[in-house]
Structure 1
C-alpha cells in the first residue's frame, strides 16, 4: 500500500460525518417501537428517500474501488452492470413491484409462501441470510477495512473491522430501516458530490478535451460491447445480453437488502417512483466513477495494482478538505452496504423463521428481538471478515459465484409470476435441483473444463432451470389452487384503474425516459 497523507481538516470532515450518522440513528431509535417500524420504517417511505437509498446501498466500497480499477485495467465494459440496473428497475416497476406492495410483504421470500409453500420460502430465506452476512456484510467490512488501511496504514485490521461493523450495526439495530434509509440519503448525496468532483478534476487534467482524454487509451478501452473471445477477458456482448440481466434481476428485484426499502414505501406510486429514481441514478456511474478510472491509465500508467486507482486520484488530484469529503463518501459507501445487509438479514431471520415458530409474540417483542438479532449478526460478520484474508481465491470469485447461485431463484420467480401452472413441488425442485446443477457446472467451470465467461454461464443456467421448472411442474404438480394464483400471477392479477397523473409523474413515461437515455449511452459508447 502507498502512503496517502491525510490532513487534519480532512479528518475533521470525516469525524463530522460520523457525528451526523450517530445523531440520525439516535433520533430515529427513539421512534422505533414495533417490528414493522424496525424492518420497514412503518411503511412510510417516500420516493426520493427510496431512490437515493437504493443508489447508496448499491455503491459499496468495493464498487468505488472496483469500478475505477476495472476501468483502468480493462475499459468501461464494467459499466454494463450499472446501466443494466436501470432497465431491470423499469421491469420491476411494471411487473413485480405491484405484487410485492399489494401483498404487503415484509420479506421477498414471503412471496414464495403465498405463491407456493413454506418450503420454498425458508429455503430462499436461508440462502439470502447466508449470502447477506457471509458475503455482503463481511465482504463490505473486509473491503472497507482494506480501503481505510490504504489511507491510514497503521490501523489494525481486526479493530478497524469491528469499528466499522459496530458503527453501522448499532444505529441499524436501534434505528432499523428508517435509520438505514435516512443515513443513506446523506450518504448518496456525499457519494454523488464526491464522485462528480473527482470526475471533473480528472477531466480537467486533459483541458476538458474529449479527444485529448481518449487519445492515449488502448483500442476498445472506451467501448461497452466486446466479442465473446475478447483477448483482454472483458465482459463479452453475449454475457451482457443473457447474463447481466439475470444477475441484475436477482440483485435489484429479489435481494432483500436492496428491495426492503421498496417494501417500506408508503404506497405503490411511491414504490414505483423510488425504484425508477434509483434506475435513473444508476446511469451516472459510467460518467462519475468508470470514466475517471479509464482516464487514469493516461495519467498514471504504471500503477502496480488497479485497486490503487481510486485512492491515487483522490490524494493526487483533490485539494485539502475535498479529500476529507470524498473519504467521507467512501466511508458512507462502506456503512451503507453494511447497514443494509444487517437490517435485511435481521428481518429475514425474525420474520421468516422466528415469528412463524412463535406466533404469539407481540409487535413490541418482535421489534426488540430484531434489534438483538442485528447485534448478533453484526458480531458474526465482523468475526468472519478477517477470515476472508485466508481465502483470497474464493473472494476473487464472489461475483462469479453469484452467477451460479442466482439462476434457480430467478427461474422460480419469473415462472411464478408469469406461468400460473407452476406449483409448489416444481418450485422447490427447481430451487434445490437447480443449485445441485449449478454446483456440477461450477466444478467444470472453476477447473477451466468449461471455458465460458461467468455471465454467459449465468444465462445458460437460467434457461436450464426454467426447463427443469416446466418439466417438474408437468410431472409433479397438479393445477395450483385458485388462492395460490389469484393476485399473485400476471394473468390472474388484480387490475386497478390507473390514477390520472401529469405525464412527468406517470411511471410509464418515466420508464420511457430511462430506456431512451440508456439507448443513447449504448449508441455513444458501443
Structure 2
C-alpha cells in the first residue's frame, strides 16, 4: 500500500464522515431517525438494500469459501435473492401496512408484550454479533493489505467502526440510506475494476477450469460441505432473512408506500444476482493462481496486494470499505431501533418524549458499536462464513416459523405456543451444533433443519394444549390494499386480479417448484441436469417476479 493509495483512502473516509454527518439537521422526530420518515423512493431504497446486503462478508468471506469449497457457495447469495423477491411480493406488503418499525413490534401485535421484549433483547445481541463478523472481515483485509500483522487487528477495527458509528448516530436512517447509495456506486465500481485484473491473472474462465479440481465447479454437488442439502438449508435461511432480518426490513419500512417497498425489494434481489459473480469468480480465480493460501478470509486481500497497481488499489479499497461500512451503519441503526422502540419505550411507565427517544437512540448506537468490536474478536476464531451460518441456523429459523409461518398465516397460534416453539427450536439448533453433530462437517445445515422442524412441530402442539377459545388476532385487513392505497392509484394486491397477472404468478411458483426439484436431482447425482435446471428455473423465477410488478 503506497502513499497515493493511503491519501485516496483518507480522503474517502473524511468525505464519508462529512457527508454522513450533515443529515443531523434532518432528524426532527423518531421516525426520521429510524425509517427516514418513510419517504425513501424506489431507487434509493433498492440501492440501500443492495448496499446493506453486499458487504465485506461477501467480498472476503464468501469469496474465501469459494476458494475453499467451490462454486456452489454462490447459492448463498442467489437463494437469498430469490427469497427477497418472494418476500417482497407476498410477505413484506402485509408487514408494511401494519406500519411497524421492527419484527418484535409485530410480535406484540400478534402475541403480546412478553414475546416482543424477549425477541428484542435476543435480536440486539444477534445484530451485535453479526456486526462483529462484518467488522472482522474488514480488519482482517486491512491487516493483509498493509502487512501490519496480527497485533494491528484492534487498531483497524477501531478505525473502520468509529467513523460509521458517529455518522449513524448523527443522521440516523437518512445518513444510512443516502451514504449507502453512494457506497453502492463505489462498491460496484471497485468490483468491476478488480474483476478483470484477477480473471486475467488466472487465465480467464478456461484457465480456472483447467486448474481447479472438478468438484469445485459443480453447481449442485451431491456431497461435500456445500452440497444439495446445504442449498436447501440456505434457501430456508434466505426466506427467514428476507422476512425477519431487522437490517433489511427497516430499509423496506422506509419506503413511501407498499408499492415502493415491493418494487425496491424485487429490484434489489434481481440486480444483486449477476453482481454476485464479481466476488465468487475471483475466489475461484485465486484458487487457480495459488492453492496454498491457508486462511480463506485472507485470499482476496492477498490477491489485491499481488496484482492491483498503485492508485487503482486505493480506488478498489474504497469500494471494499464502502461495502463494509454500509452494512455496519444500517445494522447499528437497526439495533438502536430495536432497543429504543421495543425495550426502552415499552418498559417505561409513561411514553418518552420524541427528544428523549432520539437521545437514547444515539446513545445506544454508541453502545452497539462497542459490542460490535467485542464480538469481532470472537468471530476471528470461527471465520466469517462459519460464524454467520452458525448464528442464523440457531436463532433465526425458529423466529421465522413463529413470526411468519404461524404468526401471519395461522390465527389460532397462542403466545405460549409461540414462546415454546421459538425456545425449543433455538435450543435444539444449539444442541445440534455444539453437541449432537459437533464434529460433523455439515453441522450448520443439519442444525437449520432441526431448529426449523422443532419449531414447526412444537408450536401447533402447544397451541392445541393452550387454546381456550381465545379470539384469534385479526390481521386480514393487512392482506389487502387500504382505502388510502386505492384512492392514490398505487394499490398493490398480493394476488393480481387480471388474467395476465394470475398467469405470471402461476409461472412464478411453477419455476420455484422446478428449482427445488433441481436441487433434489443434484442430491441423486444428476449434477449436470441439476445445474442447467436450477439456473433456468431461477432465471424464469426472476423474470416472472419482475413481470408481476406490472400486473394487478
Query: 1:169·1:342 contact (CA, 8 Å) conserved in 2?
Result: yes
2:29 is aligned to: 34
Equivalent in the alignment of 1:404 = 394
Q: Secondary structure at the match of 1:189?
A: helix
Structure 2: distance between partners of 1:442 and 1:18? 39
Residue 146 of structure 1 is matched in structure 2 by 140
Name which of 68, 81, 94 aligns with 2:89: 94
Q: How far apart in 2 are the matches of 1:187 and 1:393?
A: 25
Change (3 A) 1:45 1:514: farther
Post-superposition Cα deviations, 1:343-400, rounded to whole Å, max 9, x if no partner, equal 11111010001112334322222112211111222233334534655x5589954422
Cα pair 2:71 2:216 within 8 Å, conserved: yes
Which residue in 2 is equivalent to 1:132? 127
Give how far 1:330 is off.
1.7
Q: How does 1:118-197 map to 2 (within 5 A)?
A: 118-133=113-128, 135-154=129-148, 156-197=152-193
Partner residue, 2:547: none
Q: TM-score, normalising length from structure 1?
A: 0.88
For residues 260 and 507 of structure 1, what CA distance do their matches in structure 2 show? 30
Q: 1:439 aligns with which of 426, 430, 433?
A: 430
2:296 matched residue in structure 1: 306
1:84 partner SS: helix
**Hey, what does 1:363 align to over in structure 2?**
354
Please, which of 54, 59, 73 is the counterpart of residue 54 of structure 2?
59
Q: What per-residue deviation string (whole Å, max 9, x for no partner) do you get for residues 312-334 of structure 1?
A: 32223323221111111121122
Q: Which of 233, 244, 248 is residue 254 of structure 1 equivalent to?
A: 244
- From 200, 222, 236, the counterpart of 2:227: 236
Helix, strand or coil: the match of 2:147? coil
Matched, 1:14 2:23: no
- Structure 1 residues 156-187: Cα deviation after superposition (integer angstroms, max 9, x where no partner): 33333222221111100011011111111121
Question: Displacement, 1:194?
Answer: 1.4
Residue 532 of structure 2 corresponds to residue 523 of structure 1: yes
Shift of the 17–393 alpha-carbon distance from structure 1 to 2, 3 Å rule, reads: closer
Shift of residue 219, structure 1, vs aligned partner: 0.7
Distance in 1, matches of 2:2 and 2:383, equals 36
Q: TM-score, normalised by structure 2?
A: 0.84
Q: Which has the higher helix share?
A: 2
Identify the range of structure 1 (253-262 vs 299-308) with the bigger mean alpha-carbon deviation.
Answer: 299-308
Flag the 1:510–1:196 CA change in 2: closer, same or farther, 3 A: farther
Residue matched to 1:280: 270
Residue 3 of structure 1: aligned partner? none
Find the counterpart in structure 2 of residue 44 from structure 1: 39
Rounded to whole Å, the distance in 1 between the matches of 2:8 and 2:474 is 53
Unpaired runs of 5+ in structure 2? Answer: 493-497, 519-529, 536-552
User: What residue number does 1:378 align with?
Assistant: 369
Q: Are 1:427 and 2:423 matched, yes or no?
A: no
Partners of 1:511 and 1:141 in 2: how far apart? 42
In structure 2, C-alpha distance between the alignment counterparts of 1:366 and 1:512, rounded to whole Å:
47
1:319 counterpart SS class: coil
User: Matched residues in 1 for 2:166 and 2:427: separation?
Assistant: 37
Q: How far apart, in 2, do the equivalents of 1:510 and 1:329 lie?
A: 37
Q: Would the aligned equivalents of 2:136 and 2:157 in 1 still touch at CA under 8 Å?
A: yes
Distance 1:235 1:311, change over 3 A: same
Give the whole-Å Cα distance in 2 for the aligned partners of 1:125 and 1:71.
34
Indicate the structure whose relative CO is greater, using CA pairs within 8 Å and at least 6 residues apart: 1
